[in-house]
Amino acid sequence: MASPPELNIPSSTSTVNVSIINTTGTILGLDPQRFFGPKIPGHDYMGAPIYSFLIQHPVLNRTIVFDLGLRKDHWNWPPHFVQGLKAAGATLIVPKDVRDVLDENGVDAKGIEAVVWSHAHLDHTGDPARFEKSTTLIVGPGCKKEMFPGYPANPEAHFILEADYAGRNVKELEFAPSGPKVGKFPAVDYFGDGSFYFLDAPGHCIGHVCGLARVTSNPDSFILMGGDAVHHDGELRPSHWLPLPDKISPHPFLPQSATPCPGELFDKILRDGKEQPFYVPSPSSAGSQVVHFDSAEATETIKKLQEIDAHENILVVPAHDQYLLGVVDFFPKLANDFTKKGWVKKARWMFLADFAKAVGYEGKIEAVGDYAPPPTKE
């Protein structure tokens, strides 16, 4: 296994507190091939919990929220889009929204200076109108030009409503060529002290950004807020820096077992050897049902992300990673001590459970914490 590449993150002793919010929203009925391929037999179900993040700077006393999940009143999206969801057979379950979760746990939302859209898709935009008008909406580069105005000013708008930004300051991020970088990602140092960066991560959607929070210093550790840079860990792994191991532990089918899983079990479904991910973003083309704006660019973003993913001191959290449900502590708990709790190693290869049918595993797959194995189609 090759040594992880240097990321050259600017040094700092400043940190933020991060909580991973399980928004409680879920999307059912998703076809994996709209997101990634090639098709692996038996992986016909795509679990989609939705995570957002509470980021609090304890010294500056500043707070932001990264991503807002689904809105509860999703029937108020643009009518043609609501009809399209029904036609596609998608089911939305939204018992609470992010504002509900924050309120129930005593967060003073009036003190939130900004909410962030990693990108302007329905499961990330939520309902900004539930936050005070003094709360800024932060979006990625090009979002205003390509996504605004919202419905009804633009009857063809898909995800955005005028009410999302009415009377609110909307700040569009700019990534200067001479600005800082994290690995190969152009970055914006949001608080100005190296504690939290926005990363330019295009491809899936215009203006897609990730977040990188420094949660400890000396030694450094970071949480990467992935948005939809990937929709399945099989797009990230294996990689040049994280080849498929000969022995996989925890066992993806029997995580409580002390016996590791033999890596050779998955050789038959490897796409191109033990150093290439199982999946790549599905190619976008005119008239297709693929969800990516630019699949080639999304693939380049994933390659950059693989360099970050290779580091043991960085917890990569894609917005819909169902296998984190049984590993991480969710809000109101903090995620800052993830290195001490071993979350990176515990979660890294759990996604292989999705390939049970493809590799001929016939035993029962154990549940882990709040995660229950996905159903399979006969």
* pLDDT tens digits, 330-372: 999 999 999 999 999 999 999 999 999 999 987 767 655 545 5
At residue 92's C-alpha, the angle toward residues 137 and 31, to 5°, is 105
DSSP 360: T
Q: CA torsion, points 70, 75, 76, 82, in degrees to nearest 10? A: 90
Q: Which segments in the chain show pLDDT lower than 50?
A: 286, 370, 375-378
Work out the burial of residue 332: count CB atoms within 10 Å of its CB; fewer than 13 is exposed, 13-18 middle, 19 or more buried. middle
CA distances from 318 to 141, 155, 170, 323, 377 (A): 20, 31, 24, 10, 25
What tokens does 40 get?
A: 């692996």
Long-range contacts of 369-375 (CB under 8 A, 24+ apart): 369/325, 369/326, 369/327, 370/325, 370/326, 371/322, 371/323, 371/325, 371/326, 374/45, 374/47, 374/322, 375/45
CATH architecture of 17-355: 4-Layer Sandwich (3.60)
Whole-angstrom distance, CA of residue 149 vs CA of residue 146: 9
Q: Within 10 A of 286 (CB to CB), how many other CB atoms are there? A: 4
What tokens does 374 get?
A: 């996905």
Whole-angstrom distance, CA of residue 183 vs CA of residue 305: 9
Residues of the chain above pLDDT 70, percent: 94
Phi, psi of 162 (to 5 degrees): -55, -35
Whole-angstrom distance, CA of residue 159 vs CA of residue 71: 11
* pLDDT tens by residue, 104-132: 999 999 999 999 999 999 999 999 999 99
What tokens does 13 get?
A: 């002793």
**CA R_g for the chain:** 20
Whole-angstrom distance, CA of residue 102 vs CA of residue 218: 30
Q: In the prediction, which pLDDT does 47 show?
A: 72
